[in-house]
Structure 1
Amino acid sequence: MKVPTTREEFFMKKLAVVLATGFSALLPLGVVMVPTAAQAQPAIIVQTPPPPPRVERIPPPRRGFVWAPGHYEWRGGRHVWIGGEYVRARPGYAYRAPEWRERDGRWEYARGRWDRDGDGVPDRRDRMPNNPNRY
């Protein structure tokens, strides 16, 4: 094994050890985080299904805002409830709430997002994002 001779080599080796240790600590939890090119956030995939959604009392509507319902996020190796809140509306877009999707016995978290034409297909994957006669 080569001994690091420069400061940069030392820090790169230390970074590699820290990353490898962190990744190996997540494996027993059944967590897989896969970075994707189209997203700034990594995909979160876990073995544990989320609990049933909680019932929330929705406050009165606010002009210029959209209600983002509460949902579970994966934090610290468990599902954590995040309460709903009003978010500033984006004219011409529909808000899609965060959701958990089951795929092959695993649960994948999809973050909340804005959709331009309201069809539920993310605009970056939609061939006709503004077609009103889509369906």
Structure 2
Amino acid sequence: MKKLAISLAVGAASLLSLGAAVTLPTTAQAQPAVIIKTPPPPPRSERVPPPRRGYAWAPGHWEWRSGRHVWVAGHWVRARPGYAYRAPEWRERDGRWEYNRGRWDRDRDGVPNRMDRDRDGDGVPNRYDNRPNNPNRS
């Protein structure tokens, strides 16, 4: 019985030490870049729903999955005060296409200023809003 207990203790210690050596990816780690030779199809036309207070619109875009382009429909994402949402995009570099995932960017100095205000309440800071004073928005 003592040998069994010692074996189990050694086995558990081995598993714990192995677990410490294995790292799981976190959201803070950089995502792997997607670089392909095939250009994405043209963006699809989609109807943007009325603004939602406290949310930012993430427009539809093409993603590369399982060796082909797949359309991902636009959707609302919860707004982050002091940040501006950057939509996903494809950029061509030297005949290759690189996909940049959507992300939240902090203001340069990290402090919201008057240009970061959202006068019309659509979740888009004025500096990034094409129509910051749209009277038709609630």
Pick the aligned partner of 2:67 from 62, 70, 77.
77
Q: d(CA) in 2 for partners of 1:111 and 1:130?
A: 23
Look up the match of 2:22: none
Q: Does 1:111 align with 2:101?
A: yes
Gaps of 5+ in 2: 1-27, 114-138
Q: Distance in 1 between matches of 2:101 and 2:43?
A: 16
Match of 1:63, SS state, is coil
Q: Percent identity?
A: 79
Unmatched runs of 5 consecutive residues or more in structure 1: 1-37, 118-128
Equivalent residue of 2:41, what SS? coil
Question: 2: distance between equivalents of 1:62 and 1:93?
Answer: 17
Larger Rg: 2
- Deviation, 1:60, is 1.0
Measure, in 2, the Cα distance between the counterparts of 1:75 and 1:91: 32
SS in 1 for 2:92: strand
2:78 paired residue number = 88
Shift of 1:116: 1.1
Residues 1:61 and 2:51 are matched in the alignment: yes
Structure 2 length as normaliser, TM-score?
0.58
State how many pairs are aligned.
85
- Name the aligned partner's letter for residue 111 of structure 1: R
Matched residue, 1:18 = none
Equivalent residue number for residue 102 of structure 1: 92
Q: Which has the higher contact order (CA 8 A, sep 6+)?
A: 2
The Cα of 1:39 is off from its aligned counterpart by 4.3
Q: What is the rounded CA distance, in whole Å, between the counterparts of 2:58 and 2:36 in structure 1?
A: 23
Deviating beyond 2 angstroms after TM superposition, the runs of 4 or more aligned structure 1 residues are: none
Mapped to 2, the partners of 1:109 and 1:74 lie a distance apart of 8
